Amino acid sequence: MTASLKGSRRSGSNGDLILKTVVGAAAIGIVALLIGLGIELTSGSWLSIKTFGLGFITGSTWNSVTDTYNVFPAVIGTLTASALALLLGLPIGLGVAIFLSERAKGMRAGASALGSLVELLAAVPSVIYGFWGLAVLAPFMRDYIEPTLKTYLGFTQLFNATPIGTDLLTAGVILAIMIIPTISAVSRDILNAVPDSQREAMYSLGATDWEVVRKAVLPYARSGIFGATILGLGRAVGETMAVTFVIGNNINLPKSLLSPGATLTTLIVNQFGNTFDPLSEAALVEVGLVLFLLALVINILARVLVWRMTRSTRFRV
């Protein structure tokens, strides 16, 4: 796979140097871009950082009347919606990945067609998921799923609220749909990277397909699948438009999964038009900074985990 030519560096000419400089500049440009993002977001939010300090994250008030801008409810909203998305999306995404990597061995054509369909899920723009979510999914949740949940699980605080359809739960469902392709694609590559010797050893002991997957493949791929999960989480945390349509955009601390909420990303979209002074604008940029740091941590974690598994076969999500 590796295509670099060792030793070729010696045969340098002016052309080579120019090429390396030019394409190297592009590579530096990418690093500079990320650093620039960090600097710009920090300087843009400085006023808010100075004004609110740590209270920005821990405080619960986003109030234009008192000029107080704290994002704890949005942090909770982001975590809740993403956790729901993982809870619903991970088993399904993993199932798809196992299907594509293991079951498909006997039925290649059908499997690759199904794989393509799952990939097409990722081709639908998020604004369309959001619009569909608002028009179709939210009323469905409100009229069918949520009343049922409330009836049977209403005794827990989690489902004790009047169903309105546009809430954290619906946001979690939309996000689950959107992260399934991410989780299934990465997990499939991870599973494909599990050496066949692992499987063969189990088969030779007379294990069934499922036992092979459960006892030989999945344990071996554990850390990689964890990485895929984290990548899915990253996508859920960063998703904006689909969530904006269905989450209800309520900036108060949500009381249950059936309460409308807000995430960090939806807060930016919804409050962008309401910022009118330097402090509220800076606060909004600081929301961006929090997302920047969150995305950085999540992606570094995911890359480290995924790379460890598939060091040789590079891939991206």
Partner 1 sequence: MKGLILLSVAIAIIPLFLVVANVVVEGLPAISSGFFTGIPPSPLAGYGGILNGIEGSLLMVGMGTLIAVPLGVGAGIYFSEWPESRLSFLSSFTNDVLAEFPTIVIGLFVYALVVAPTRTFSAVAGALALAIIELPIIARTTEESLKIVPITLREASMALGIPRWKTIFRVVISTGKSGLATGILLGIARATGETAPLIVTAGYLNYPPTGLFQQTGSIPYIIYNFGTAGYPNWITVAWGAALVLVAFMLILNLSVKFFIGRKSTGVRAEI
Partner 2 sequence: MNLNKTGTSGTTIGLVVVLVMVVVGAGAYIALNPNSGPTTVTQTSTATSTIATTATNTISTTATTTATSSGLGAATLTGGGSTLVYPIMQDWINTYAFVQPNIQITYNAIGSGKGISGITTGLFNYGGSDAPLTAAQYALLPSGSNLLTIPVSDSGIIPAYNLPGITAHLNFTGNVLAEIFYGSITMWNDHHIAALQSASVAAQLPAHAIQVYHRSDGSGTMYGFTQYLSDSNSTWKTQVGFSTGTIAWPVGVGCLHNAGVAQCIAGNSYSLGPLEIAYEIANPGQINFGAVQNHFGNYIVANFTNISEALAAGVKNGLPTTYTQWSSYSVIQATFNDSGKYIYPVSTFTYALVYQDLSASYASTSQAQAVAVVNFLSWVVTSGQATGPNSPTTTLGYPPLPSAAVTLDAQLLATVTYNGTPVLS
Write out the residues near partner 2 by the rule CB under 8 A: 61-66, 142, 161-162, 164, 166, 248-252, 259-260, 270-278, 280-281
Residue 146 contacts residue 258 (beta carbons within 8 Å): yes
Alpha-carbon distances, residue 144 vs 140, 163, 268 (angstroms): 6, 10, 31
Q: C-beta of 246: minimal distance to partner 1 in Å?
A: 11
The interface partner of residue 250, options being partner 2, partner 1, none and the CB cut-off 5 to 8 Å by kind, is: partner 2
Binding mask 201-240 for partner 1 (x = CB under 8 A): --------xx--------------------x--xx-xxxx
- Is 118 or 161 the residue whose CB approaches partner 2 more closely? 161
Q: Specify the residue, 178 or 256, whose C-beta has the smaller distance to partner 1.
A: 178
63 in helix, strand or coil?
strand
Shortest distance, position 155 Cβ to partner 1, whole Å: 28
Which residue is listed with tokens 């808010």?
48
CA distance 138 to 212: 40
Question: Is 41 in contact with 288 (CB distance < 8 Å)?
Answer: yes
CA distances from 198 to 2, 191, 211, 267, 309 (A): 25, 11, 12, 47, 14
Name the binder of 22 from partner 2, partner 1, none, CB < 5-8 A by kind. Answer: partner 1
Which residue of 74, 75, 134, 246 would you call a contact of partner 1, by CB under 8 A?
134
141 binds partner 1 (CB under 8 A): no
180, interface contact from partner 1, partner 2, none, CB < 5-8 Å by kind: partner 1
Is 57 a binding residue for partner 1 by CB under 8 A? The answer is no
**Token digits for 72?**
């704890």
| Per CB under 8 A, 317 contacts partner 1 | yes
Q: Which helix (H) or strand (E) holds 73?
A: helix 72-101
Query: Closest by alpha carbon to 101, among 24, 195, 207, 7?
Result: 195
Minimum CB distance to partner 1, residue 160 (Å): 27
CB-CB contact of 62 with 250 (8 Å): no
The partner in contact with residue 5, picked from partner 1, partner 2, none with C-beta cut-offs of 5 to 8 angstroms by kind, is: partner 1
